[in-house]
């Protein structure tokens, strides 16, 4: 089934440690996104990428970095985790043709707990 | 920047009853509007979207939504709810020119009573 694969499904991470959340899509979508979901706040955009080789900052980028070496992969890295980064992280992708807006396809999420 | 408000945090309806979930947005122009559904432990799935044209849009799973410019609303409706509709529902808005700036509401959790 075509879609987005996120790994790991869940993780407990010690504060100060680094971690990379993986995201792979097989739909050849140009645009990819990382969101965090927190109770009562909905989803907030961390970083995005319109196409391979380019990235941009979203609403809450501090403490996170991304790379987009190819179309399919969009890893999210926490360089030094803090407890406030405890959240559920969703990767998403969408078609992109010019400035047209499309709906997103989401992965199943990574539940991260920083202790 | 645009914003989305979902006034109801939690709604409970009986199976077979009708459903309306409210969504209000704040944006200077006509935005692109979306409804997503999230089942427990899953990612979000697109239910329907409004870009332009007919203000009543049909989606998957028997859902529909109506765009009302005068009220800045995009409410989601279903005539008869099924137990499998129990989930979290998110309204989202994006500027018509920027796919990267999609903003989500805080969500409405739907419980379906037998």
CB–CB of A42 and B98 under 8 A? no
pLDDT of residue A37: 94
CB distance from A42 to chain B under 8 Å?
Answer: yes
CB distance from B83 to chain A under 8 Å?
Answer: no
Integer-rounded Cα radius of gyration of chain B: 13
CB distance from A87 to chain B under 8 Å?
Answer: no
CB–CB of A103 and B42 under 8 A? no
Confidence of residue A100 (pLDDT cuts 50, 70, 90): low
Domain locations in chain A?
A: 4-114
pLDDT at A96 over 90: no
CB distance from B40 to chain A under 8 Å?
Answer: no
CB–CB of A101 and B44 under 8 A? no
pLDDT at A110 over 60: yes
Query: Would you say B24 and B73 are in contact if contact means Cβ atoms under 8 Å apart?
Result: yes
B42 vs A contacts (CB less than 8 Å): 108-109
Q: What is the CATH number of the domain that holds B22?
A: 2.60.40.10
**Total domain count for chain B?**
1
Which token pair is A12?
A: 């407990």
CB–CB of B106 and A106 under 8 A? no
In tens, the pLDDT along B13-71 reads 999 999 999 999 998 777 899 999 999 888 899 999 998 888 999 999 999 999 999 99
Q: Any idea which of A67-71, A98-102, B19-23, B107-111 has the lowest mean pLDDT?
A: A98-102
pLDDT at B4 over 80: yes
Nearest CA in chain B to A57: B100
CB–CB of A99 and B106 under 8 A? no
Nearest CA in chain B to A32: B100
pLDDT of residue B52: 82
pLDDT of residue A102: 75
DSSP 3-state of A5: strand
Q: Give the best residue of B95, B99, B104 to mutate against chain A (max A CB count within 10 A).
A: B99
**Residues A4-114, CATH architecture:** Sandwich (2.60)
- Say what percent of chain A tops pLDDT 70: 94
pLDDT of residue B59: 95
Contacts of A43 (CB under 8 A, 6+ apart): A35, A36, A37, A90, B44, B90, B104
Contacts of A97 (CB under 8 A, 6+ apart): none
- CA separation, residue A110 to residues A20, A22, A113, B25, B86 (Å): 11, 9, 10, 29, 22
pLDDT of residue B53: 84
Rounded to whole angstroms, the Cα distance separating B16 from B19 reads: 9
In tens, the pLDDT along A3-49 reads 999 999 999 999 999 999 999 999 999 999 999 999 888 899 999 99
Which token pair is B51?
A: 């870009």
Range of the domain at B93: 3-113
DSSP character at residue B56: E
């Amino acid at each position: 089934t075509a879609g987005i694969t996120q790994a790991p499904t869940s993780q407990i991470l010690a504060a100060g440690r680094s971690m990379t959340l993986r995201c792979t899509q097989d739909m050849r979508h140009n645009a990819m996104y990382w969101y965090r979901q927190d109770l009562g706040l909905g989803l907030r955009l961390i970083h995005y990428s319109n196409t391979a080789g380019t990235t941009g900052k979203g609403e809450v980028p501090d403490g996170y970095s991304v790379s987009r070496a190819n179309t399919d992969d969009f890893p999210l890295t926490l360089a030094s985790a803090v407890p406030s980064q405890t959240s559920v992280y969703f990767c998403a992708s969408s078609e992109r043709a010019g400035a047209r807006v499309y709906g997103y396809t989401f992965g199943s999420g990574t539940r991260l707990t920083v202790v | 920047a645009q914003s989305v408000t979902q006034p109801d945090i939690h709604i409970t309806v009986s199976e077979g009853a009708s459903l309306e979930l409210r969504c209000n947005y704040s944006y200077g122009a006509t935005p692109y509007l979306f409804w997503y559904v999230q089942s427990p432990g899953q990612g979000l799935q697109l239910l329907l979207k409004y870009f332009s044209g007919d203000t009543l849009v049909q989606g998957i799973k028997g859902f529909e939504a109506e765009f009302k410019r005068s009220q800045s609303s995009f409410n989601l409706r279903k005539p008869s709810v099924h137990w499998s509709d129990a989930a979290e529902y998110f309204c989202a808005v994006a500027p018509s020119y920027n796919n990267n700036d999609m903003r989500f509401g805080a969500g409405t959790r739907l419980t379906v009573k037998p």
